Amino acid sequence: MPQSKIRLSGVGAADPYIDTEGWEELLSALVGCLSDNNSKVPQGSLKVLAKLVASPHKSPDALRPCFALVWGPLKEKMGDSKLPAREAATDLLLEFMDKLGMSSMMDRLKLCAGHKNWRTREQADLQSKHIRNTHMRMLLSRFGADDLSNLARGSTAQSSSPPSSSRSLPSSPPKALAPSPSPASGNPPPPPATSFLGAAPSLQLETTCKYSDREALQQLQRVVASGGAFHAGFAPSLRALREPLCEQVGDLRSTVAREACATITALASALTGDDSWAHLVEFFVAALLKATYVTIQVISTSADACIKSIIQSGRGGGYVKALAKFIEGVRARNQVLRLHCVEYVTLALTCWHVTVLDK
């Protein structure tokens, strides 16, 4: 029997032994299988390793010495040419992250920035974004949206906030979909009629951990579908959501990125011809273009379809700054991006008025 078939058979029978005595030897053997030429062997090994690391019987102290052994082959599998292997490697890395902490993972991922394999560099960048966004959700859960919004705007922290909330935070708003910043604790909340969400409280997006990112995006889509986009207060609220939406387009989780693309598509359809939307298009297009050439197919196809819907929403008019982004992409180094941008320019030439193209 060929060696790879023997290994594949062994990997398939390894699950019952992940919690038995001598699991360290099993882990070492599975790491050795990651270099097998049969793609099913490393893929299966990564899945068993993920179960082993996730086991409640494995403490962080027991796993920490093993991570150094796993990391070398793991980062190579993050750049594997086959998508299932990359996804399995990502799942294993996330399990290690849960057990060993995010800071130790971030240090390792930073070293991947100069890796020779572009897929490894890409996956490391996506993982870094995931770690950062998870930190923001933890802060949001611990301190509340009001304090974090004030700190992100450079405001003085409320006197009732814990001392640790005065630490510096990124200048961008926390990654939570909120229709508008919450008022300071000393001021009364605005009347419900002044908010475009006030007329439909069941659709309100809350800046708490009640909603996951995906659910919050779906809530925003329902707001748009119910006519909320035509309310006078919608445009200012949408400007506040520009950065979070752009971040979620590039989210590591394909379900979140797909919902972000669907949300932008809904906005493009509802706000056609609106000046407030036209000012935001270039930012959304810039984020979407980066997602069109990622190796996660769900994300790349969603971003591609979203950009095409934006272009088609400009029929009779157009978006000058978005066209400039497409032309810039035609000269990009990445072959996939160049191909997409040629397609986008062609579609724009077909859909948009000639006066926009003259500009």
pLDDT one-digit tens code per residue, 248-275: 998 878 888 999 999 999 998 888 777 7
Tens digit of pLDDT for each residue in 178-223?
Answer: 444 444 444 444 444 334 444 333 334 434 433 477 788 888 888 8
Query: In degrees rounded to 5, what are phi and psi of residue 87?
Result: -65, -40
Q: How many helices (H) and strands (E) does the chain have?
A: 17, 0
Phi then psi dihedrals of residue 31, to 5 deg: -60, -40
Q: Per-residue pLDDT averaged across 58-74, rounded?
A: 87
Count other C-beta atoms under 10 Å from residue 119's C-beta: 18
Nearest to 108 by CA among 53, 58, 67: 67
C-alpha 288/C-alpha 271 separation (Å) is 18
DSSP state for residue 164 in the 8-state scheme: G
Q: Which pLDDT tens digit goes with each residue over 119-174?
A: 777 777 766 666 666 656 655 565 555 554 554 555 444 434 444 433 333 444 44
Q: Return the structure tokens found at 254.
A: 């394909």
Work out the angle at residue 182's Cα, subtended by the Cα atoms of residues 176 and 188, and round it to the nearest 5 degrees.
Answer: 160
Question: Average pLDDT of 13-40?
Answer: 86
Asked if 96 and 67 touch (Cβ cutoff 8 Å), the reply is: yes
| pLDDT score, position 178 | 41
Instruction: Map tokens 């920035």 to a residue.
Output: 113
Q: What percent of the chain has pLDDT over 70?
A: 72
Which amino acid makes up residue 200? A
Q: Which of 67-76, 152-161, 314-323, 347-356 has the largest mean confidence?
A: 67-76
- Domains of the chain, CATH where assigned: 3-141 (1.25.10.10), 230-358 (1.25.10.10)
Cα angle, residue 236 at apex, residues 231 and 237 outer, rounded to 5°: 80
Contact 209, 215 (CB under 8 A): no
201 Cβ neighbours under 8 A, 6+ residues apart: 192
26 vs 234: CA distance, rounded Å: 56
Q: State the virtual CA torsion across 329, 330, 333, 337 in degrees, nearest 10.
A: 60
In this prediction, residues 7-22 reach a mean pLDDT of 84
pTM metric for this prediction: 0.44
pLDDT computed for residue 302 by the predictor: 93
Contact call for residues 286 and 319 (beta carbons, < 8 A)? no
What is the structure's pLDDT at 304? 94
**Cβ distance 195 to 228 under 8 Å?**
no
The pLDDT of 2-16, averaged and rounded, is 83
**Arithmetic mean of pLDDT over the chain:** 75
Whether 298 has a pLDDT exceeding 60, the answer reads: yes
Give ∠ CA 297-299-303 in degrees, rounded to 5: 115
Residue 134: which H helix or E strand, with range? helix 118-143
